[in-house]
Structure 1
Amino acid sequence: MEQGQANAGQAAAPGTDTTPAIDASPAARPTGLSALAEAIAREPVADAISPVVFAGLVRTLEFVILVCCGALLQAVLVVPRDGFSVAYVPLILGGSVAAVVGFQTMGCYSAGAFRQLFRNGGRLIAVWAGVFGLIALALFMTRHGVLFSRAWLLAWFFTGLAALIAFRVGVLQLVRHWTRSGRLVRRAVIVGGGSSAGDLIAALTKDPDNDIRICGIFDDRSDDRSPPIVRGYPKLGTVHQLVEFARRTRVDLLIVSLPITAERRVLQMLKELWVLPVDIRLSAHTNDLRLSPRAYSYIGTVPFLDIADRPVADWNRVKKACLDYGLGGLAILLALPVMVAVAVAIRLDSRGPVLFRQNRYGFNNELIPVFKFRSMYVDQCDATATRLVTKGDPRVTRVGRFIRKTSLDELPQLFNVMRGELSLVGPRPHALQAKAANRLYDEVVDGYFARHRVKPGITGWAQINGWRGETDTQEKIQHRVEHDLYYIENWSLMLDLYILAMTPFSLLMKREGAY
């Protein structure tokens, strides 16, 4: 429960950590975009689809297709004549696994492979034929060929191949549609203009298989070293304005085009940009420094140094969503009788609505409506949390004191989880005017907005470590943010499960500061 905010909630409390906060200078409030940047930011942009997750789904479906082809052909060609033989099961499963592993080894699951049917089709045929060659050789060498129908083997080869090609045709059409709509591309921004940005853009656009869509260029320089247009891409503003731009529209990747030798300037930029929930890469294609190939990541053939990654992306995002929706739905069912009882008690205790809605900062600084049981008199509710709730606060009702102390007022936030606005575990969302020692949180803590690189949560690492409740001093919000940043940098599914398991004990053992 966030006791530092009027009618805000409290989540949890045990564990220990003293990770230092990372110094940064956030662009906390709108900075004013150029007319062109504003126009681009207002364009509707579809949600992105992770290429990693998509490739994994294609891989899984192709395995299922091959297994189903083998099993159905056995049922049609073998079982009526010879009966069911369990010997076919390991052969079907093993052959399908070997084919998928071969496709992976030959690069058949890359973004470029999905877009190049004819070039990729040859690899599919070669791998599938190679797998059957190995199967035939193994059956011959072990003298187990008599156990299997040759008609079935030939039928599985041709049927499986036809099914794979037909499936890839469907994948190709889907990829083309998603690429046109922007769902299967990475929206990138170039940081730093001039000749280095021009060389980078030329290298990226030369590769037809990359999935990068450049939105524009941001650079602090305004002299001849940074012209307004570089290879057809406009300069949209300064690095400081880039933070606001990335808050307003989908940006997946920031590419810093400055040379590694410009260390001071690179660090100055990263100090502002690290608060964003995006991947940050440093272009390495023009640097004289040559590292091991394993030190680089690549977009097409262009090398980059990885500076920062999104904290929860690709399959990790899928795992966290499954946890949120699975346990969140179950929690609603289990908590429904308690919520009904709390709602009745609120109505009997004071006039006004049962629920209270308050706008708070969510993922990437987006405003989200957070639901809570009303714990204050209706005419004294403070929607912007400009005044802290203190011990014995006369604004809090009798029922409100109990539900705030026990965090029962937070239960409606389970519906925020099911709406996709909150996570079960994450940094607690703060109200817009929440203050510590009469200063807004982002004015107190450097890098405050970096805690919004993930979805906020009902409970979190800070709460189970005792940093819940009233934030009347700068030290308290500082420690809370330090724990939030530790959670973001060290996220794992096991950490989420640990926090969820410790939350009830935290609520029972540490109630000080929860008013």
Structure 2
Amino acid sequence: MIFSDRYPPQIVLPGLDVLSIFLSGFIAYYARFNTFVLHERYMLALICMALLVLVINSMANSYRAWRVTSILQMIGNLLIVWVAVGITAASLIYFAHAAERYSRFWVGLTLALSFLMAGGIRSLVQLGLQHVRLRGGARRPVFLVGPSQNVLDVAKGIRSASWEGHTIAGVERIKTPINEACIERIARRIDESHAREVWICVPLEMGNTVRTLFYALRNHTAEVRFIPAFQDMHLLNHRMSEVAGHYAIDLSVSPMSGMSRFIKRSEDILIGALISLLILPVCIMIALAIKVTSPGPILFKQYREGSNGRRFKVYKFRSMYVHDENDGKVTQAKKNDSRITKVGAFLRRTSLDELPQFYNVLQGRMSIVGPRPHALAHNEQYKELVESYMRRHKVKPGITGWAQVNGLRGETDTLQKMERRVEYDLWYIDNWSLWLDLKIIVMTVFKGFINKNAY
């Protein structure tokens, strides 16, 4: 057995987390009181912290096998757990009226040091295992079964993610229908290959084949996985879930649920409030410039479609002369558009016209990062022309987004431009994380405000 199988994370990590808590507690106590002899109430606090870490990590499923978990994702999950532990510990101390009996410096330093220790140990172990796997060690042999193209696609994936440590022990290319002789041959070859896992790689229409192969392998000890092929289907945040007592393959769902929703909203409130305060003087100057240079309101308000199709009013600084559109039609701004004021041209070129949308963010109707909201008329136009267009609305629209920081701003005068923008938007939704949001915000500061396509 390889090391990670002999000592799986479910056994090793809880012990390391408890060790990190207690070791950090002793160090923090020495830093505060200049002694390693803990008072009994501090020892009780360490025991409670350790139990909280174990319970919350177990609830968050953080002790599962981590062969396919990236270090960044691992540390991110761990940070969420430690923040939850800190909030819970602080709440218990407060409601027990014991705040004056515990050093806040000790509690904070214990949590900080234990997080660094637990995260550092995980990172070192994962990096070590990845290094070993890339050099050919600690690998899990996998036997692939399925049609030629499906098997080839999965094999390419194994080679491109060699750090996960899977290796191909054998391949059986099948065609439908499969007969008894084919099943016996597959079972015999799997035995001879000594594969630790069997991956059944077939399209959804071959569901009966999966059942037949699974039954044929009932006496084998190898782990069996079903890797369905969703040909010509644009999936969104696909995963396995359990609903009404049944397992489901989610094909198109929003990533903003549970803890992810809480993190996203907290990010919007904290960063949005900070930015709103910083830009207040700029907004006042822009408002005065608009009022002085052209007649009409300071703000432009227009209904847009938000998360799950809910409509809301989006706010912008008015950048055009007041005018009416024929038959409710929305005409996109073009280069040298006569409707745009001189101040408006500057605002649109620098994206300063978008600043009032931070109020939309604080309202909870928009997010700082997300797909840009399009006019309702454009949604009606493109939803029939661009596949999966309306899946952009699985999350709240954003002030900035992955498409915008990659140069896809301004007029979408061709269908290809809109298709590319939607492609980037869906990639963002499918790969959302707090770290990706922060990356996009930083990229917006350096390259997202001014763009040659913005007019």
Cα-to-partner distance string for 1:456-483 (whole Å, 9 max, x where unaligned): 1000000000000010001110110000
- Say whether 1:97 aligns with 2:45: no
Which aligned pairs between 1:236-247 and structure 2 lie closer than 5 A? Answer: none
Distance 1:345 1:267, change over 3 A: same
Report how far residue 513 of structure 1 moved: 1.6
Contact 1:381 1:395 in 2 (8 A): no
- Say whether 1:323 aligns with 2:267: yes
Structure with greater helix percent: 2
Cα-to-partner distance string for 1:62-115 (whole Å, 9 max, x where unaligned): xxxxxxxxxxxxxxxxxxxxxxx84224421233135546767999x9xxxxxx
Which aligned pairs between 1:134-173 and structure 2 lie closer than 5 A? Answer: none
Cα-to-partner distance string for 1:307-330 (whole Å, 9 max, x where unaligned): 345312211111111110111011
- Say whether 1:493 aligns with 2:413: no
1:443 alignment partner, SS class? coil
Partners of 1:105 and 1:494 lie apart in 2 by: 20
- Say whether 1:449 aligns with 2:390: yes
Partners of 2:448 and 2:393 lie apart in 1 by: 24
Name the aligned partner's letter for residue 452 of structure 2.
E
Q: Which has the higher contact order (CA 8 A, sep 6+)?
A: 1
List runs of 5+ in structure 1 lacking aligned partners: 1-84, 110-257, 282-296
Distance 1:481 1:384, change over 3 A: farther
- Say whether 1:483 aligns with 2:435: no
Displacement over 3 Å in runs of 4+:
97-107, 258-263, 297-300, 380-385
Contact 1:385 1:432 in 2 (8 A): no
Report how far residue 442 of structure 1 moved: 1.3
Report how far residue 380 of structure 1 moved: 4.3
2:313 alignment partner, SS class? strand
Contact 2:407 2:451 in 1 (8 A): no
Partners of 2:312 and 2:293 lie apart in 1 by: 28
1:504 alignment partner, SS class? helix
Partners of 1:357 and 1:427 lie apart in 2 by: 19
Cα-to-partner distance string for 1:420-446 (whole Å, 9 max, x where unaligned): 0000000000001128xxx81212211
Distance 1:385 1:424, change over 3 A: farther
Q: 18, 34, 39: which is aligned to 1:87? A: 39
Report how far residue 306 of structure 1 moved: 3.1
Q: 275, 281, 291: which is aligned to 1:347? A: 291
1:306 alignment partner, SS class? strand
List runs of 5+ in structure 2 lacking aligned partners: 1-36, 62-204, 211-227
Partners of 2:279 and 2:327 lie apart in 1 by: 26
2:454 is aligned to 514
Q: 366, 387, 395: which is aligned to 1:422? A: 366
Q: 235, 247, 259: which is aligned to 1:304? A: 247
1:505 is aligned to 446
2:384 alignment partner, SS class? helix
Name the aligned partner's letter for residue 513 of structure 1.
N
Distance 1:443 1:261, change over 3 A: same
Report how far residue 453 of structure 1 moved: 0.7
Contact 1:359 1:383 in 2 (8 A): no
Cα-to-partner distance string for 1:324-375 (whole Å, 9 max, x where unaligned): 0111011111001110000000011111110010111111111111000111
1:251 is aligned to none
Partners of 2:262 and 2:327 lie apart in 1 by: 33
Cα-to-partner distance string for 1:18-71 (whole Å, 9 max, x where unaligned): xxxxxxxxxxxxxxxxxxxxxxxxxxxxxxxxxxxxxxxxxxxxxxxxxxxxxx
Name the aligned partner's letter for residue 382 of structure 2.
Y
Which aligned pairs between 1:228-307 and structure 2 lie closer than 5 A? Answer: 260-261=207-208, 298=242, 302-307=245-250
